[in-house]
Chain A
Amino acid sequence: MHSKKVRWITGFAAFTCLLWVFGLGWAVKDYLIGTTSTATAPSVSEQPIAAVEQVKIVALGDSLTRGTGDIEGKGYVGYIGDMLKQKGTDISLINLGIKGLTSPGLAEQMQEKEIGRQIGQANVILMTIGGNDLFLGGQTLSDVSEASITGLEDAFLINLKAIMTSIRSVNKDATVYLLGLYNPFSEFENGALLSEVVRGWNYKTAEQLAEDPGTVFVPTYDLFQKNVNDYLFTDHFHPNEKGYQLMAERVAALITGVGGQS
């Protein structure tokens, strides 16, 4: 009465039914009772480090590294990548910037194993840090006192030193480009005073970095000195795409010639 085909399908369906009941039971048992690991973690096979001619760029730091304010979402890091690619350089680019990161936060991030591994493989390290330390989300704007600034500065320099030590402990050769601060508030009421603070901050940062010959301090202060509002995003703090372009051009010009590519 029933065709062979249907008989076969029914039988097979019954078999799959048993299989899934088994799977369900297994899942429930595993979830409720728990088992010991049945698989072993793979032996850590270090991937061959990317081909020699590839330039590995690691970007660290705060919202500027992330690219906040750029409608294209690239930030100076993305534009540097684009510029290098255009020149025919083979790059790999990883952006580890986190919005709102301060120097203690970055020092902490450095301790992560994978971050260390990424930095270890890098030829070029890009970094923006300190902006959030100094501006505290706009607070410093209303309260500029010598003492509080010096306190912030000292803490920052200690953290910066720790960060550089962490980087050098995993990577001795990479060039580190630290982008300096600019004054987003120069057209505000006590803008002139803040500009002075930013210049002092940049100066001390540069001096500190100079202890390590493999680092380059890249000033950005001058880029935003005139017509600051043309280069700032609507939040009056982060650069816009034009501002990021300017920063990127400056850094990209310095990177050329690094990493095996003449």
Chain B
Amino acid sequence: MVNLVQNEMTKLVGKRRFVIISIIIIALLSMFSYAQVKQAESIKERLGTVDWRTELQQQIVDMQNRLSSAGQWREQIQIQIKQSQYYLDHDVNPAEPGAPTFMRGFVQNSAELFLPLLIMIIAVDLVSSERSMGTIKLLLTRPVSRFRILLSKYIALILSVSLVIFLFGILSYIISVIMFGNQGWSAPVLTGFSTQGDTLDISAVRLVSQWQYIIQQFGLAWFISIVVGTLSFMLSILMRSSAAGMGTMLACLIAGAILSNMVSSWDSAKYLFMVNLGLMDYVSGSAPPIEGMTLGFSLAVLAAWMLGSLIVSFTVFTRKDVY
């Protein structure tokens, strides 16, 4: 088994997928961190101070002004206002400048779309490429059961996803440390906000150190990526062409990003996997796309989708005619 997994890893490394992913991450990171530096400069110019309290207070007032014309965003903004006010009242800087804060924001923003896209680069042709190149026959003539072959591919996928998340973390650290410095690992972060309609429940709010928060966030990002990876994996078995699998998955992910913004009145949409990808929003305390969704619920929905697609993958692969 170990040998089979190693074999799969050799193929992935040979295809230079990790190099491509690293290059994409580095390119995007450089742009984001540069944009962040620029933004900080423009805020400083506008307010004439670097005091974060002043900046946060200004943000709160700006949000209050948007309230009257916010329409359906009203609840979200109200929660955001209350949360910012809580930070302010407890003298906790929500964005302590430094590399950890940048990493936190970056992983939070990329967990729903960017990271899954990177995972797709690996997962989407894991099986279909073997078929299109004809190497699948060689693989299946080996004296190993089909189940074990697929299992080794899946384990390789999980390992690669972990590696990609790690690359993502380490690269964002390296680049942001150059731009913003290394301070802020033990800075406090408020977590445990829960929302009920437009009210913010602060009874369970507590402070955690930023490094703990970041590890937790990466854990959640990892889970999201595994789910997306598993679904792409299924598509790569079901579809002959990698491009078709990629397209289908992309469509789902983008639909999810759009739906999360507009499904608040379509209740049963909460059973779709793509609406549940915003796991981190629960931890940071913004309003869920559909009322009543919780972290436990989303994890369960995602796990169910994952399990379902695994069953489909293994049944189809072990029974399929290969010619």
The answer to the question of B13 belonging to the interface, with a C-beta cut-off of 8 Å to chain A, is yes
Chain B residues 39-70 with CB under 8 Å of chain A are 46-49, 51, 53-54, 56-58, 61, 64-65, 68
Contacts of B296 in A (CB 8 A): 28, 31-32
Instruction: Give a binary string over A32-55; 1 marks a CB under 8 Å from any B CB, 0 the rest.
Output: 101111111110100100100010
Instruction: Give a binary string over A67-83; 1 marks a CB under 8 Å from any B CB, 0 the rest.
Output: 00000000000000000
Instruction: Please name the residue on chain A nearest to B188 by beta carbon.
Output: A39
The answer to the question of A148 belonging to the interface, with a C-beta cut-off of 8 Å to chain B, is no
CA distance in complex: A95, B43 (Å): 13
Contacts of A47 in B (CB 8 A): 51
Chain B residues 148-165 with CB under 8 Å of chain A are 158-160, 162-163, 165
User: What distance in Å separates the Cβ of A15 from its nearest Cβ neighbour in chain B?
Assistant: 8
Contacts of B93 in A (CB 8 A): 42
Q: With A21-B219, A31-B283 as given contacts, are A93 and B209 in contact (CB-CB < 8 Å)? A: no
A28, B9: Cβ atoms closer than 8 Å = no
CA distance in complex: A118, B159 (Å): 51
Contacts of B191 in A (CB 8 A): 30
The stretch from A6-14, A158-166, A219-227 touching chain B is A6-14
CA distance in complex: A206, B25 (Å): 61
The answer to the question of B212 belonging to the interface, with a C-beta cut-off of 8 Å to chain A, is yes
Contacts of A95 in B (CB 8 A): 58, 61
Chain B residues 174-190 with CB under 8 Å of chain A are 186-189
Q: With A42-B91, A42-B92, A114-B57 as given contacts, are A13 and B162 in contact (CB-CB < 8 Å)? A: yes
Instruction: Give a binary string over A110-147; 1 marks a CB under 8 Å from any B CB, 0 the rest.
Output: 00111101100000000000000000000000000000
B219, A94: Cβ atoms closer than 8 Å = no
CA distance in complex: A214, B65 (Å): 29
Determine chain B's interface SS by DSSP, over half rule: helix
User: What distance in Å separates the Cβ of B44 from its nearest Cβ neighbour in chain A?
Assistant: 9
Task: Say which size band chain B's interface belongs to.
Answer: 35 or more
Contacts of B90 in A (CB 8 A): 41
Find B219's partner among A24, A38, A98 (CB 8 Å cutoff).
A24
Contacts of A115 in B (CB 8 A): 57
Find A41's partner among B9, B92, B166 (CB 8 Å cutoff).
B92
CA distance in complex: A126, B90 (Å): 27
Q: 17 extra interchain contacts, Cβ-Cβ under 8 A, other than A5-B13, A31-B282?
A: A1-B3, A10-B5, A10-B6, A14-B159, A16-B162, A22-B215, A27-B219, A27-B283, A30-B208, A31-B283, A32-B296, A38-B208, A40-B188, A42-B93, A94-B58, A95-B58, A113-B88
Report how many residues on chain A are interfacial, defined by Cβ distance under 8 Å.
Answer: 58
The answer to the question of A190 belonging to the interface, with a C-beta cut-off of 8 Å to chain B, is no
Q: With A20-B162, A92-B47 as given contacts, are A38 and B13 in contact (CB-CB < 8 Å)? A: no
User: What distance in Å separates the Cβ of A95 from its nearest Cβ neighbour in chain B?
Assistant: 7
The answer to the question of B273 belonging to the interface, with a C-beta cut-off of 8 Å to chain A, is no
Contacts of B10 in A (CB 8 A): 2-3, 6
A38, B207: Cβ atoms closer than 8 Å = yes
CA distance in complex: A205, B192 (Å): 47
List the interface of chain A (C-beta within 8 A of B): 1-3, 5-7, 9-10, 12-14, 16-17, 19-28, 30-32, 34-42, 44, 47, 50, 54, 56, 66, 90-100, 112-115, 117-118
Contacts of B158 in A (CB 8 A): 17
Contacts of B196 in A (CB 8 A): none
The answer to the question of B220 belonging to the interface, with a C-beta cut-off of 8 Å to chain A, is yes
User: What distance in Å separates the Cβ of B266 from its nearest Cβ neighbour in chain A?
Assistant: 25
Contacts of A42 in B (CB 8 A): 91-93, 187-188
Instruction: Please name the residue on chain B nearest to A14 by beta carbon.
Output: B159
Interface centre among A10, A25, A40, A56 (most CB of B within 10 A): A10
